Structure 1
Amino acid sequence: MASNEKTEPKEQEPVENKQQETPAKKSPVKKISLIVLIITVLIFIINVLSDRHTPHTDQARVKGLVLPVAPMVSGYIIQTNVSQHSRVKAGDTLFIIDPTSYEIAVKVAESNLEKAIQSIDAGESTLKSAQARLSRAKVKLERSTKNWERTQRVLAENEGALSEADIDRSEASYLEAIESVKSSQADLERQTEALGPLNENNPTIKAALNNLENAQINLGYTAVIAPSDGIVESFNIEDGYFAAAGHSLMSLVSNNDMWIQANLKENNLSKVEPGDRVELIFDIEPGKVFEGKLTSISYGVSVDNTNPNGLPKVSSAQGWLRDPQRFPVMIELEDKEIISKLRQGSQAEIVVYTGKKPLLNMIARLRIRIMSKLSYVR
């Protein structure tokens, strides 16, 4: 009996060992869960800090100027020098409108200017005649004045020396001479005022010159030239097409000035400032990262279709959670070679470096370089 009692504890030892080993097997699961939780929290914190210090977005597009080309005068097109997607330089002639009627208008304006000059010449002759009449009237007045003064002296010395008729004739001649001078002076002033200046400041001459200049300008407008370097788009005309003044016939995509518009979330903008360094990737150049500089930040966006102020409109994703409002930022490319390859509307992805944050900057640099490699397959 004693021996049996001793063996019973030996049989219970494995059970106790199993109970002691069970917690040891569960401990790795807890450690892994804790590690995953810590990593998740770290990723969340890094993501929040990245949104502030190294914001990035794939809502970025290439922007540029699109110039509508419209003639200043109307007429039938007699010559076209470009076609769809033609590359042109500033000053190149795009097409020519029939200049016949405008050449005639120039000749008519030149004829009217000659008539105006002749009219001024004729008026100048008339003016000289009026001046001559005034001079004669003044000479007559001078003689009549002396005669009247002589008559007055004779009468003062001897009242009966002259007859009444002689006195009346002398006085009448003097008064008539005064009136003649006044009349000639008024006639000269009237003709001088009507004729105006005898140079290019003459109203008749100025009107004729203005008409001639306007006719010459309209004649020059018959040759429609490119306002800047660019590429022809929306071109659908040919010889014989009637071009209406002010009606756009084509668009010129300017390649002189291109920039990137990126739509950043409102909570990305707290640290962003003009002058911040930017890295960009384009689908047209997969695997490459380009440098840029943030130049400006929009101060407002349109939130409905009735905004009369012309503010930029940014679309937001609709989902279960409210998407933060986005605001456009403008980015200038520092690599000028890529500009020649880009097309307006091309997509881009950007990251903005707002300061010296080594860890966050390294993560952002690594991320955008990975995305640039993925451009090969997306």
Structure 2
Amino acid sequence: MLKTKKSFSLLILLMATAIVLLVVIWRMQTSPRTDDAYVYADTIAISPEVNGRIIAQPVKDNQRVHKGDLLFRIDPRPYEAALQQAQAKLDGLNQQIELTQRSVNAQKFSADSAQASIASASAAAKQATATLRRLEPLLAQGFASAEEVDQARTAKLSAISKLDTLKLQAKQAKAGVSGVEALVAQRAEASALIQLAKLNLEFTEVRAPFDGRIASLKTAVGQFASAGKPIFTLIDTSHWYVIANFRETELKDIKEGTQAQVYLMSNTGIKFSGHVDSISYGITPDDGATLGSGLPNVKRTINWVHVSQRFPVKIRIANPDENLFRVGASAVATLKTRP
């Protein structure tokens, strides 16, 4: 009788163990879970666009800031001077263009008047040449005086000189137009320099591009800031994520939009909901393999027990608590792959 009871108890225990094992397997298949997870948020390095000394920094490390808040200001005086210099250059070019244009207009007027007289001047030169050609043979025959021949030569030279003067005036007017065009091109360059100077002056004030929290602030007023060199980091607190590393054997049932539950190690009593935002398609193996353009480096030894590789799954949190969520904080993630 006692033996029968022991056998029955053992059977009950085995059945309970089997049921528990089946439940665990079912839960693992329908709700994969991992504690290899951490909190993540998008971050940017705040860097100035121009060089200069910081004269104002109304923020401190770990401070919460809003979009458009002033983060720091660089001494604007060199850039104000550059803007004034560019503006003065443009004003000078405008005056020079105006004066040159007046001169060109006068030359054009003279050239137009001269052009109207070129035809008659050309005819007069031809007539004076013909008259001189007729008088010169008559001088030797005594039918014309030397004075008349000299007057004919003078008339010819005068007519040719007048014609050349009118042609030169036309050329000068054309050259004057080219000079104005060159000055207009310089004016376009000066206008571009003004726009650049205004942009650099605007860059002396660095403002928050989004709501966030400052991190790793290690500078103060008086520090010289170099363009492109980070001053601190700004964490985007409008969206929080948890990066959960799941085994590759569990990825077949994980898709974008899969519902998730997340707990933070800092406070396991609060549950956060979310969904899968994306699944990683590549990692760097730690078994010696080489990816990319090189050939795989396969180890000579074989491990009989092969550990499944883990791939990051990015979970977007729907109801984050800014007081608890910190970049890099440990988390536990559970996915609901099946209803």
Aligned residue number for residue 89 of structure 2: 112
Aligned residue number for residue 130 of structure 1: 107
Structure 2 residue 260 is the aligned partner of structure 1 residue 278: yes
How much does 1:117 deviate?
A: 1.1
CA contact (8 A) 1:56 1:351 kept: yes
Q: Distance in 2 between matches of 1:116 and 1:138?
A: 31
Aligned residue number for residue 290 of structure 1: 272
Correspondence for 2:328 among 340, 345, 358: 345
Structure 2 residue 251 is the aligned partner of structure 1 residue 266: no
Deviates more, 1:128-137 or 1:178-187: 178-187
CA contact (8 A) 1:90 1:226 kept: yes
Q: Distance in 1 between matches of 2:176 and 2:337?
A: 78
Q: The residue matched to 1:141 in structure 2 has which SS?
A: helix
* 1:205-249 per-position Cα deviation (integer Å, ceiling 9, x unaligned): 111112222222222222222222211221122222222222212
Work out the number of aligned pairs and report it: 314
Q: CA distance change for structure 1 residues 307 and 65 in 2, over 3 Å: closer, same or farther? A: farther
Aligned residue number for residue 224 of structure 2: 242
Structure 2 residue 32 is the aligned partner of structure 1 residue 55: yes
CA contact (8 A) 1:91 1:227 kept: yes
Alignment of 1:16-165 (within 5 A): 25-33=2-10, 35-144=12-121
CA contact (8 A) 2:57 2:72 kept: yes
Q: Distance in 1 between matches of 2:264 and 2:279?
A: 21
How much does 1:129 deviate?
A: 3.0
Paired AA for residue 329 in structure 1:
V
Q: Distance in 2 between matches of 1:31 and 1:127?
A: 119
Q: The residue matched to 1:269 in structure 2 has which SS?
A: helix
How much does 1:83 deviate?
A: 1.3
Q: Distance in 1 between matches of 2:180 and 2:312?
A: 63
Q: Distance in 2 between matches of 1:117 and 1:299?
A: 60
* 1:110-135 per-position Cα deviation (integer Å, ceiling 9, x unaligned): 11111111221222123213312321
Correspondence for 1:211 among 178, 193, 211: 193
Correspondence for 2:284 among 291, 302, 313: 302
Q: Distance in 2 between matches of 1:33 and 1:123?
A: 113
Paired AA for residue 204 in structure 1:
Q
Q: CA distance change for structure 1 residues 307 and 255 in 2, over 3 Å: closer, same or farther? A: farther
| Structure 2 unpaired stretches of 5+ | 137-148, 294-302
- The alignment-based identity, stated in percent, is 26
Paired AA for residue 78 in structure 1:
I
TM (norm. structure 2) is: 0.77
Higher RCO (C-alpha under 8 Å, 6+ residues apart): 2
TM (norm. structure 1) is: 0.70
Q: Distance in 2 between matches of 1:171 and 1:42?
A: 130
* 1:90-114 per-position Cα deviation (integer Å, ceiling 9, x unaligned): 2111222222222222221111111
Paired AA for residue 343 in structure 1:
R
Q: Distance in 1 between matches of 2:175 and 2:280?
A: 65
Q: The residue matched to 2:88 in structure 1 has which SS?
A: helix
